[in-house]
């Protein structure tokens, strides 16, 4: 999968793209990572402003390596379509001024002669300081206010996405990018997202599109919610809860549940499907919540976050969502209550810190 010299996507250094973007150097995946291991990333310079930006070049070679034996025409068509989809979603976000989604600055196609595949489609995005993994720690003493503010930003991002008909489907620590020395968090990598307005048939099977390490628990047992919108929203809600759990314990909720169930109920040992295991997962989830709660010494914050984790990561997708929202038609997976709660919590913690400091 590693790009080599015969790979156009790996040979962009020094070029000026779209007459504006000077490609400075290749960067490692985790620097401002937006996932996407089928792309090669560069640091670029906006020659008009001298601001740095981030370039994501489509790496066809990696796809060929991944899908050996598959018709190259099909692979190119598939990947072009995936790339086009990501570009269109980012443009949609840009048009709607989504403030908490990594912004698309430019896009285009570079053509490098003398390469087997000379065209390299690329996207240019705003450059992040890194993803939250480079900043976060899981001690009890770390600034909880920062974590709450970051989670608040993520919740706003999801609400913004849902507002324009996009479900992210791949929320995970490496996709939460930080800007302005950690003051702002934004959500990146929309490659796995779903948007029926752009690609109505993107995921006909309904299977999980994101990183399996952070998968909502029901997918591991083959459960697929039939209603597409409901499925997408319930998935995003669980993934948000997963992040919440990760922020405070270093463990996502799916793993916390697995810590609290017997081996025989784990996804890789169970053959009976979701309907026969769900009560045992629920029992593990209850214990997981208690474990999570123990990790937060501040009682008020602990109770509030535990409650948020409870309704965002409920193992049954149709019972996820704020308890009040469960009875609101079409509003079950709305993030507005999460946003206001996190806003309140972060302000309260900040105030407590100030008081304590004084």
Partner 1 sequence: MAISYKIEKRRVVPNWRDFKRTVNLNELIISGNDFPKLEFDVSKVAADWNSNKSIGTAADLINGAFISEKFDFKELQEATTFIMQHSEKASNLLLDVAGKINGGIAEDIVTTNISQLEVDSIDEFQAHFESQLAYKILRRTKNRAKSELYNPIIWVELARLYAFFGVKEKAEKAMVVALQLAPDNRYVLRSATRMFIHFEQHEKALFYLRRSPSTKVDPWLISAHIATSSILSRYSPYVKNGIQIIKGGNHTDYDTTELNSSLGTLEYQEGSIKNAKRHQQLAMKAPNDNSLAQLEWLSHQDKAFEFDTNSFKNVPNHFEAFAFNAYDSGKWKDVVDNSINWFLDLPYSKRPILLGSYVASMYLKDYEKAIILCKMGLKANPHDTIILNNIVYSLMSMNKLDEAQPYLDSLTRINLSNLDPDELVPLQATLGLCAFRSGNVQEGEWFYELAIATAQSSNQKEMAEMATLIFFRELINARSHEMIEKYLQRIGSINPGKHLDIKQLKDEAIKLYSEYKANQKTDTKN
Where does this chain bind partner 1 (CB under 8 A)? Answer: 28-31, 33, 37, 130-140, 142, 172-174, 207-208, 211-215, 219-222, 246, 248-252, 254-256, 258-264, 266-268, 270-273, 275-277, 279-280, 282-283, 286, 291, 294-295, 314, 319
Q: Which is nearer to partner 1, 146 or 258 (CB)?
A: 258
Q: Which is nearer to partner 1, 20 or 133 (CB)?
A: 133
**CA Rg, the chain, in Å?**
21
How far apart CA 202 and CA 82 sit, in angstroms, is: 9
Answer for the pair 182, 135: CB distance below 8 angstroms, yes or no.
Answer: yes
Answer for the pair 225, 317: CB distance below 8 angstroms, yes or no.
Answer: yes
As measured in angstroms, the least distance from the Cβ of 327 to partner 1 is 15
As measured in angstroms, the least distance from the Cβ of 34 to partner 1 is 12
φ, ψ for residue 139, nearest 5 deg: -80, 165
As measured in angstroms, the least distance from the Cβ of 264 to partner 1 is 6
As measured in angstroms, the least distance from the Cβ of 182 to partner 1 is 12
Q: Which is nearer to partner 1, 36 or 98 (CB)?
A: 36
Answer for the pair 53, 21: CB distance below 8 angstroms, yes or no.
Answer: yes
| Measured CA distances, 177 to 99, 199, 277 (Å) | 13, 26, 36
Sign of the torsion formed by the C-alpha atoms of 199, 204, 207 and 212: negative
As measured in angstroms, the least distance from the Cβ of 134 to partner 1 is 5
Instruction: State how far Cα 293 lies from the chain centre.
Output: 24
69 DSSP assignment:
T
Length of the chain: 358
Q: Which is nearer to partner 1, 272 or 357 (CB)?
A: 272
Q: Which is nearer to partner 1, 198 or 288 (CB)?
A: 288
How far apart CA 295 and CA 274 sit, in angstroms, is: 29
As measured in angstroms, the least distance from the Cβ of 87 to partner 1 is 23
As measured in angstroms, the least distance from the Cβ of 19 to partner 1 is 32
Q: Which is nearer to partner 1, 93 or 277 (CB)?
A: 277
Q: Which is nearer to partner 1, 103 or 266 (CB)?
A: 266
| Measured CA distances, 66 to 2, 19, 77 (Å) | 11, 33, 15
As measured in angstroms, the least distance from the Cβ of 44 to partner 1 is 19
Q: Which is nearer to partner 1, 104 or 256 (CB)?
A: 256
How far apart CA 131 and CA 126 sit, in angstroms, is: 13
- Consecutive H or E run containing 226: none
How far apart CA 7 and CA 118 sit, in angstroms, is: 8
Answer for the pair 182, 129: CB distance below 8 angstroms, yes or no.
Answer: yes
Sign of the torsion formed by the C-alpha atoms of 120, 121, 126 and 129: negative
């Amino acid at each position: 999968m590693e790009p080599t010299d015969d790979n156009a996507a790996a040979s962009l250094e020094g070029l000026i793209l779209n007459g504006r973007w000077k490609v400075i150097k290749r960067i490692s995946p985790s620097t401002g990572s937006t996932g996407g291991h089928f792309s090669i990333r560069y640091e670029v310079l906006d020659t008009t402003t001298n601001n740095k930006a981030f370039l994501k070049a489509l790496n066809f070679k990696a796809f060929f390596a991944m899908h050996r034996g598959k018709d190259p025409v099909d692979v190119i068509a598939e990947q072009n379509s995936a790339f086009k989809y990501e570009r269109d979603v980012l443009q949609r976000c840009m048009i709607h001024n989504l403030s908490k989604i990594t912004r698309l600055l430019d896009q285009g196609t570079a053509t490098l002669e003398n390469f087997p595949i000379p065209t390299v489609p690329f996207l240019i995005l705003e450059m992040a300081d890194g993803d939250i993994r480079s900043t976060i720690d899981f001690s009890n003493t770390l600034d909880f206010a920062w974590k709450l503010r970051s989670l608040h930003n993520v919740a706003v991002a999801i609400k913004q996405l849902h507002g324009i008909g996009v479900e992210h489907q791949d929320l995970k620590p490496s996709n939460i990018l930080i800007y302005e020395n950690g003051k702002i968090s934004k959500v990146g990598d929309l490659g796995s997202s779903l948007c029926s307005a752009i690609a109505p048939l993107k995921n006909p099977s309904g299977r999980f599109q994101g990183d399996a390490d952070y998968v909502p628990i029901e997918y591991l047992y083959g459960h697929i919610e039939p209603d597409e919108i409901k499925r997408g929203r319930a998935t995003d809600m669980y993934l948000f809860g997963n992040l919440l759990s990760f922020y405070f314990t270093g463990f996502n909720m799916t793993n916390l549940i697995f810590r609290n169930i017997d081996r025989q109920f784990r996804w890789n040992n169970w053959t009976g499907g979701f309907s026969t295991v769900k009560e045992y997962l629920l029992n593990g989830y209850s214990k997981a919540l208690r474990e999570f709660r123990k990790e937060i010494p501040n009682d008020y914050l602990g109770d509030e976050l535990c409650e948020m984790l409870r309704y965002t990561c409920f193992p049954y997708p149709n019972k996820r969502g704020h308890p009040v929202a469960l009875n609101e038609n079409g509003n079950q997976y709305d993030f507005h209550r999460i946003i206001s709660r996190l806003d309140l919590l972060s302000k309260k913690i900040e105030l407590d810190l100030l008081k304590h400091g004084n």
